[in-house]
Each structure stands twice: as structure tokens, then as C-alpha cells.
Amino acid sequence: MSANASLPSVFFLANPDKPKALAALERVTSAAADRCNMIGAARLIDGRPAIAAKADRIVVFGGDGTLIGVARSLGDHQIPLVGVNVGKLGFLAEFSINEVETELDRILSDDALIKRRMMFEVGVFRNAHAAETFTAVNDCVVQAGPPYRIIRLRLSINGEHLTYVEGDGLIVSTPSGSTGHNLSAGGPILQPGVAAIILTPVNPHSLTHKPLVIEGDSVVEVTAHDVNEGTTLIIDGQVSCPLGGKNRVVIRRFSQDFLIVRNPRHTLWNKLVGKFHWGRAPNYE
């Protein structure tokens, strides 16, 4: 069957480890057959086939972690993602299966629903040379690791020394990631469209090291001054990289933004209030 040039080209991806995602993929692709140009469907957490197929949208079945993994795989070629939640919270993947079926035509054609989220480029330097480079959607975290002694990290911003952080590590978060590990560690919640970087010490051995929000175009440098054998840099909770003594991590805004299609049925604050129950009054009964 030939493609209809008036319809958007859509690639469908499902988390292969989630049976509910595979069932949802079959259900939605069947319903979408005459509503878009289906240029591919795969059981992958990898958006690169959609780049090659020149997709206008990628519909992702899974949870927030699936959506983050797909976004990171797209690298410099970001494509708007429609997240269909078959997991638990569904903070980024905000569509239910019923909602994506009902709203599919608008989701695939209305560019006003596309929101931009900043990402990080993360470089790991060993012996002054860039050893590895990653992109991050949510955060990059330096964790102490075994044998779980306090570590000491040297923190600089835009080439200017700021402080030494002693404790269990440091979270460097995007606004999208502010409701993830950062929130659990006592960091602030940021509106997703804000251009900012959040620095949140993890269990600092200090009464004065509090979370810090800095400008989004800043360059953050974290040097592993005194670390453990198991000290690790973790990207989005999914990719790990060991950090040795004097290794440096340089974090800056990535050249491209993560593109996500918002649910037109939800208000801006629906997820914060509806899923996290932010601001809910105590139950005095």
C-alpha cells in the first residue's frame, strides 16, 4: 500500500521486556493503520531505526525509563516522542492506551503539543583526554559505591572553583529530572521548560551544602578528588561508568533538546498534583 503524503509518518517502539507494552503496540498499530503512514514497528528501546525511516513522530510503549532510553538513543536527531504508559508512574509517558487511541490524529499532527526539554552532554576525562561521552535526559549522578566511604568531589562552574562536596555523591539534574533522583535527595522541583541545571549533594557531610540551581548554559566540572574503588557515574539510572581518582566529569547543555508530545487532556500541573499529590491538604478525619 502506498503512503499518503497528507498523513504523518510514524514509527512505533515497544519495550521488549514489558508484555503489556507488546500487547499495547499490537492494539494501537491496528487502530492507527488508516490514520497515519506506519513506517515501522519494533520491539526496541532504540530510536535509530526511526531516524533512518524519517519518522515525524515516534510512539513509545513502556514507561518513563523506556522513553528516556529512546530519547538518548536519538542523539543529534531528536524526533517528537509520544509516551504511552504501561508502567507505574508515567510522569513523562503521560498517555494511557485509551487516550492515545482517542487523541491519535491530534497527537500526530498538532505541533503545538510538542514541548522542548533540555538535555546534557556528559564527558568523562581520564589523564586529560576525553574517554567517553554520553547524553543525559534526566540526570548524571556520581555515587560513592563500595566500600561506601565518604567521597570528596571538587566542583567548578564555568572554570571557577566553587566548593568541595564530601558525602555520598552529587546529582546534576535537568529540569525534567528534577522529579526523579533529585527530588528523592531533597532537591527542588523545576518547571520542565526552565533552562537551568540543578546541583544536589547526596547526604553531604556538612550543614551548609544545600541544592543549587544555576543557569542552563553553565559548564559544570566534577573532579573525583578522593573516591572509592566502586565510585560510579550513572546516566539516567541506565548507563554506568566507573570513576577513578582525579577523573573529571564535564557537564553542559546538549546541542539538541528532547522533544515530547504532551497530553492535550491534561493541564500543565496535572502530573505534579495528580501523580505526586503535591500540595494535598492533610486528612484530618
Quick: pLDDT tens for 231-250: 999 999 999 999 999 999 99
Active-site residue, selected from the candidate residues 17, 34, 46, 64:
64
Per-residue pLDDT band at 128 (split at 50, 70, 90)? confident
CATH code of the domain made up of 120-253: 2.60.200.30
* In this structure, CATH architecture of domain 9-117+257-274: 3-Layer(aba) Sandwich (3.40)
Report, as an integer, the average pLDDT of 185-210.
Answer: 96
Domain(s) labelled CATH 3.40.50.10330 in the chain stretch across 9-117+257-274
Task: Return the pLDDT at 19.
Answer: 92
Rounded CA separation 122/249 (Å): 7
* Residue 111: active-site member: no
Domain(s) labelled CATH 2.60.200.30 in the chain stretch across 120-253
Rounded CA separation 116/185 (Å): 25
pTM, two decimal places: 0.93
- Whether the CA torsion 49, 53, 59, 61 is positive or negative: it is negative
What's the one-letter identity of residue 2?
A: S
Q: Are strands 212-215 and 9-14 parallel, antiparallel or unpaired?
A: unpaired
**285: which 3 cell numbers?**
478525619
33 vs 158, which has greater pLDDT? 158
Which region among 29-33, 129-133, 175-179 has the lowest average model confidence (pLDDT)?
129-133
What contacts 250, CB < 8 A, 6 or more positions away?
122, 123, 125, 219, 220, 221
pLDDT tens across 254-283, in order? 999 999 999 998 877 777 777 777 888 777
